[in-house]
Amino acid sequence: MSNNTEKQEYTITVYTENQVGLLNRIAIIFSRRKINVESLNTSPSEVPGIHRFTIVVEESRDVVLKVVRQIEKQVEVLKAYFNTNDEIVWQELALYKVLSEEITEKVKVERLLREFGARAVAIRKDFIVFETTGHREETNKLMEALAPFGLVEFVRSARVAIIKESAGFHEKLKDFEEREPGEEVIENEYLGKREAVFTM
Amino acid sequence: MEQKKLTGSQAVLEACIAEGVDTIFGYPGGAIMPIYDALYDYKEKLNHILVRHEQGGIHAGQGYARSSGKVGVVFATSGPGATNLVTGLADAMIDSTPLVCITGQVFAHLLGTDAFQETDVINITMPVTKWNYQITDAEEIPTVLAKAFYLARSGRPGPVLIDISKNAQFQEFNYQGYTPCNHIRSYRPKPVIRKNYIDEAVALINNAKKPLVIFGQGVILGKAEKEFKKFIEKSGMPAAWTLLGLSALSTDHPQNVGMLGMHGNYGPNVLTNECDVLIAVGMRFDDRVTGRLDKYAKQAKIIHLDIDPSEIDKNVRATVGVWGDCKETLPLLTLGIEQKDRSEWLAVFADYAKQEYEQCIQPEMYPSSEEMTMAEVIRNINEITEGNAIMVTDVGQHQMVTCRYAKFNDTRSNVTSGGLGTMGFGLPAAIGAKFGAQDRTVIAVIGDGGFQMTLQELGTIMQTGIDVKILILNNQFLGMVRQWQDLFMDKRYSFVDIESPNYVMLAKSYGIEGAKVEHRKDLEAAVKTMLAHKGSYLLEVMVGKENNVFPMVPQGCSVSEIRLK
Residue B268: is its pLDDT beyond 50? yes
Active-site residue flag, B542: no
By C-alpha distance, which of B199, B221, B208 is closest to B71? B221
A16 neighbourhood in chain B, CB within 8 Å: 186
A188 and chain B in contact, CB less than 8 A: yes
Domain boundaries, chain A: 2-88+160-196, 90-156
Q: Would A2-88+160-196 and A90-156 be classified into the same CATH topology? A: yes
Active-site residue flag, B400: no
- Domains of chain B: residue spans and CATH: 4-175 (3.40.50.970), 195-349 (3.40.50.1220), 372-542 (3.40.50.970)
What is the chain B residue with the closest CA to A183?
B192
| Distances in whole angstroms, Cα of residue B59 to Cα of each of B20, B74, B466 | 20, 9, 16
B277-284: average pLDDT: 98
B7-31: average pLDDT: 98
What is the chain A residue with the closest CA to B321?
A191
Band of the pLDDT at B62, cuts 50, 70, 90?
very high
Lowest mean pLDDT segment, chosen from A175-179, B85-89, B156-160? A175-179
- CB distance B184–A75 less than 8 Å? yes
B209-216: average pLDDT: 98
CB-CB contact of B131 with B151 (8 Å): yes
**Stronger pLDDT, A112 or A169, i.e. the higher one:** A169
B143-169: average pLDDT: 98
B123 and chain A in contact, CB less than 8 A: yes
Cα B490 to chain centroid, rounded = 33
Which residues, at least 6 apart from B145, have a Cβ–Cβ distance to it below 8 Å?
B11, B12, B15, B16, B19, B100, B162
According to DSSP, the residues that pair with B215 across neighbouring strands are: B241, B281
By C-alpha distance, which of B346, B297, B311 is closest to B216? B311
* Side-chain-facing half-sphere of B407: CA atoms under 13 Å: 15
Residue A191: is its pLDDT beyond 70? no
Band of the pLDDT at A186, cuts 50, 70, 90?
very low
B403-459 residue pLDDT tens: 999 999 999 999 999 999 999 999 999 999 999 999 999 999 999 999 999 999 999
Tally A–B CB contacts below 8 A: 69
3-state secondary structure B8-69: HHHHHHHHHHHCCCCEEEECCCHHHHHHHHHHCCCCCCCEEEECCCHHHHHHHHHHHHHHHC
Residue A180 has a pLDDT of 60
Residue A185: is its pLDDT beyond 80? no
Q: What is the maximum span of chain A, computed from C-alpha positions, in angstroms?
A: 68
B48-61: average pLDDT: 98
- CB distance B309–A69 less than 8 Å? yes
pTM: 0.95
Residue A190: is its pLDDT beyond 90? no
Rounded to the nearest integer, the mean pLDDT of chain B is 97
Residue A148 has a pLDDT of 84
Q: What percent of chain B has pLDDT over 70?
A: 100
Band of the pLDDT at B2, cuts 50, 70, 90?
low
A2-88+160-196: CATH number: 3.30.70.260
Active-site residue flag, B358: no
CB-CB contact of A71 with A13 (8 Å): no
Active-site residue flag, B116: yes
By C-alpha distance, which of B232, B240, B239, B276 is closest to B261? B240
B265-280: average pLDDT: 98
By C-alpha distance, which of B88, B160, B161, B158 is closest to B119? B161
B498-528 residue pLDDT tens: 999 999 999 999 999 999 999 999 999 999 9
Rounded to the nearest integer, the mean pLDDT of chain A is 85
Residue A59: is its pLDDT beyond 80? yes
Q: Which of B19, B54, B140, B227 is catalytic?
A: B54
Alpha-carbon torsion, ordered B61, B67, B69, B71, to 10 deg:
-10
According to DSSP, the residues that pair with B415 across neighbouring strands are: B392
Interface test with A, best of B192, B198, B329 (most A CBs within 10 A): B192
User: Which contiguous run of DSSP H or E holds residue B523?
Assistant: helix B520-532
Residue A195 has a pLDDT of 44
A117-142: average pLDDT: 92
**Stronger pLDDT, A1 or B538, i.e. the higher one:** B538
| Distances in whole angstroms, Cα of residue B492 to Cα of each of B101, B105, B480, B546, B557 | 42, 47, 14, 13, 22
B472-505 residue pLDDT tens: 999 999 999 999 999 999 999 999 999 999 999 9
Residue type present at position B350? A
Residue B375: is its pLDDT beyond 80? yes
B325-360 residue pLDDT tens: 999 999 999 999 999 999 999 999 999 999 999 999
Rounded distance between C-alpha atoms, residue B406 and residue B384, angstroms = 11
Residue A158: is its pLDDT beyond 70? yes
B217-237 residue pLDDT tens: 999 999 999 999 999 999 999
B84-105: average pLDDT: 98
Lowest mean pLDDT segment, chosen from A60-69, A102-111, A190-199? A190-199
- CB distance A66–B321 less than 8 Å? no
* Side-chain-facing half-sphere of A184: CA atoms under 13 Å: 13
Q: CB count, 10 Å around CB of B195? A: 8
Band of the pLDDT at A196, cuts 50, 70, 90?
very low
* Identity of the residue in B127, B185, B194 whose CB atom sits nearest the CB atom of A176: B185
Residue B1 has a pLDDT of 53
**Rounded to the nearest 5°, which phi and psi values hold at B201?**
-65, -45
What is the chain B residue with the closest CA to A20?
B133
Nearest-CA distance from A39 to chain B in Å? 22
Q: What percent of chain A has pLDDT over 70?
A: 88
Q: Which of B117, B355, B359, B463 is catalytic?
A: B117
Choices 3.30.70.1150, 2.40.37.10, 3.40.50.2000, 3.30.1330.10: CATH for A90-156: 3.30.70.1150
Q: Return the exposure string of B339-352: e unless at least 16 CB atoms fall within 10 Å of the residue's CB, then b.
A: ebebeebbebbeeb
* Identity of the residue in A16, A66, A187 whose CB atom sits nearest the CB atom of B188: A187
Which residues, at least 6 apart from B344, have a Cβ–Cβ distance to it below 8 Å?
none
Residue B388: is its pLDDT beyond 60? yes
A39-65: average pLDDT: 95
